């Protein structure tokens, strides 16, 4: 009887356990993806969106777990009832045989004792202990995450700036990456003002600190000394989600989620934005690429966008920023994998968009840089020189070198 029950329920039990494990896998994949793309999530201030997705996966997981728990809750009492009834039968039948003289009391007692010894509770207990262990290990891992408080938060009650103009100012900024608190500063005493609505270019050798500098604007990191201000207000005094909505940073190595192109672009866009997405994709110069893809905007880009070229990934990332039309647009070498002609074309198309906004272009193509209102040359974490193309070329110390390198690259590209 017990055997039959076990047999009938074990398949069901197995299936439901599997569901639970799948749910757990789905959940951890979500967490893993969100965490490895945490810069993007933060930069687009879409914590709430991610939290919701997590909540949904979590609810499914909970449902599966409940179904499993209900089944277990059913099996355990049934099994013990069966055990109890079995014991009753043994006592009744064995008792009769003892009375009839066919069996000694000792044999009956021994038989019952063996039954007890053989009973499955021992096995079940072992199993329970292993489950408990697994649960404890899992909880420990989760706690490691739960107990981490975000290092960068905005003060409670922070108020956004009404009608933001978009002036960006860095005053006496010194910065080290948190991972290397003892190393030399990555940025040293930077003073820089970008007037609202202007376009500036930041150039410099690799490792000069360009990326570090622009990451300070949406507060992906905080300064060590000095301040970063938006319209004269320290960014640390502004609500973080609002700030990150206003400062659109296209990162150097873009992170794409493994969904469709549309999802990647519309990511963190509130409400319906079909038209906006289409506009952004066009503006980012993706029209031709999309025409060649199997499903256009609905093409799935694979884990982290593996199916796209570097240039395509960069333009999807650009579209993602354009779609939200931030007041301050920062492109951190965001078109490095796009060829010079395409870059030219795109920047021409975006001229109108950039005109009304504060634009910071980290770039290495002189043709791109030339048109900026101001060129800032970073060298070894400090501002080496500032000016326009002509004056820097005539009087600069670092810029002419960069320019010559660039001229060489253009020649090479032409070959």
Ligand X SMILES: Nc1ncnc2c1ncn2[C@@H]1O[C@H](COP(=O)(O)OP(=O)(O)O)[C@@H](O)[C@H]1O
Residues forming the site for ligand X (CB under 6 A) = 177, 179-180, 186, 204, 206-212
Pick the closer one to ligand X by CB: 55 or 179.
Answer: 179
Least distance (Å) between residue 381 CB and ligand X: 7
Q: How far apart are CA 398 and CA 379, in angstroms?
A: 8
The Cα-based distances of 390 to 355, 370, 386, 387 in angstroms read: 22, 9, 11, 8
Q: Going by DSSP bridges, is the β-strand pair 225-230/233-234 parallel, antiparallel, or unpaired?
A: antiparallel
- Are 13 and 48 in contact, with CB atoms under 8 Å apart? no
Task: Report the site for Mg ion in 246-285 (rule: CB under 5 A).
Answer: 252
Please, which residue, 165 or 205, has the CB nearer to Mg ion?
A: 205
Shorter beta-carbon distance to ligand X: residue 327 or 368 = 368
**177 interface partner picked from ligand X, Mg ion, none, CB below 5 to 8 A per type:** ligand X
Please say whether the beta carbons of 349 and 341 come within 8 A: no
Site for Mg ion in 184-213 (CB under 5 A): 210-211
347 DSSP assignment:
H
Q: Of the candidates 337, 43, 74, which has an alpha carbon nearest to the alpha carbon of residue 215?
A: 43
Q: 48 burial class (0-12, 13-18, 19+ CB within 10 angstroms)?
A: exposed
Q: How far is the CB of 73 from ligand X (least distance, A)?
A: 49
Nearest approach in angstroms of CB 398 to ligand X is: 13
Q: Tell me if 223 sits within 8 A of 215, measured CB to CB.
A: no
Compare residues 203 and 229 and give the one whose CB is closer to ligand X: 203
Residue 264 to residue 262: CA distance in whole angstroms: 5
Binding residues for Mg ion, total number by CB under 5 A: 3
Nearer to Mg ion, 41 or 213 (CB): 213
Q: How far is the CB of 332 from ligand X (least distance, A)?
A: 7
Tell me the closest approach of the beta carbon of residue 175 to ligand X, in angstroms. Answer: 9
The structure tokens listed for 179 are 């991972």
CB of 182 to ligand X, least distance (A): 11
Q: Which does 206 bind (CB under 5 to 8 A by kind): Mg ion, ligand X, none?
A: ligand X
Q: Which of residues 192 and 280 has its CB atom nearest to ligand X in the complex?
A: 192
- For residue 120, the 8-state DSSP code is T
Site residues, Mg ion (CB under 5 A)? 210-211, 252
């Amino acid at each position: 009887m017990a055997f039959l029950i076990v047999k009938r329920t074990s398949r069901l039990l197995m299936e439901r356990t599997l569901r639970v494990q799948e749910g757990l896998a789905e959940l951890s994949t979500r967490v893993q993806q969100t965490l490895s793309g945490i810069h993007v999530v933060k930069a687009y201030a879409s914590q709430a969106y991610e939290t919701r997705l997590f909540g949904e996966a979590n609810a499914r997981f909970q449902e599966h777990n409940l179904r499993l728990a209900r089944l277990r809750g059913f099996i355990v009492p049934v099994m013990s009832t069966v055990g109890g009834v079995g014991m009753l039968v043994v006592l009744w039948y064995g008792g009769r045989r003892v009375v009839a003289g066919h069996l000694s009391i000792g044999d009956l007692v021994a038989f019952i004792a063996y039954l007890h010894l053989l009973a499955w509770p021992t096995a079940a207990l072992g199993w329970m202990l292993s489950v408990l262990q697994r649960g404890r290990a899992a909880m420990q891992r989760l706690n490691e995450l739960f107990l981490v408080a975000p290092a960068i938060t905005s003060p409670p009650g922070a108020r956004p700036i009404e009608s933001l103009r978009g002036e960006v100012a860095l005053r006496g900024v010194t910065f080290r990456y948190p991972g290397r608190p003892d190393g030399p500063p990555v940025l040293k005493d930077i003073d820089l003002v970008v007037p609202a609505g202007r376009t500036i270019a930041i150039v410099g050798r690799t490792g000069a600190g360009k990326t570090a500098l622009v990451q300070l604007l949406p507060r992906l990191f905080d300064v060590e000394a000095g301040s970063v201000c938006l319209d004269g207000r320290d960014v640390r005094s502004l609500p973080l989600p609002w700030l990150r909505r206003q400062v659109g940073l296209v990162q150097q190595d873009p992170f794409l989620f493994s969904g469709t192109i549309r999802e990647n672009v519309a990511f963190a866009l509130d409400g319906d934005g079909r038209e906006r997405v289409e506009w952004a994709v066009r503006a980012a110069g993706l029209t031709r690429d999309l025409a060649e893809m199997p499903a256009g905007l609905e093409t799935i880009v694979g884990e982290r966008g593996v199916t796209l070229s570097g240039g395509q990934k960069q333009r999807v990332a650009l579209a993602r920023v354009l779609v939200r039309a931030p007041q301050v647009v920062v492109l951190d070498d965001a078109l490095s994998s796009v060829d010079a002609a395409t870059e030219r074309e795109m920047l021409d198309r975006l001229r109108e968009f950039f005109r009304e906004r504060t634009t910071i272009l980290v770039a290495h193509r002189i043709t791109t840089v030339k048109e900026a209102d101001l060129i800032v040359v970073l060298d070894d974490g400090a501002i080496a020189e500032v000016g326009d193309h002509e004056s820097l070329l005539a009087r600069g110390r670092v810029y002419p070198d960069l320019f010559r390198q660039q001229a060489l690259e253009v020649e090479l590209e032409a070959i």
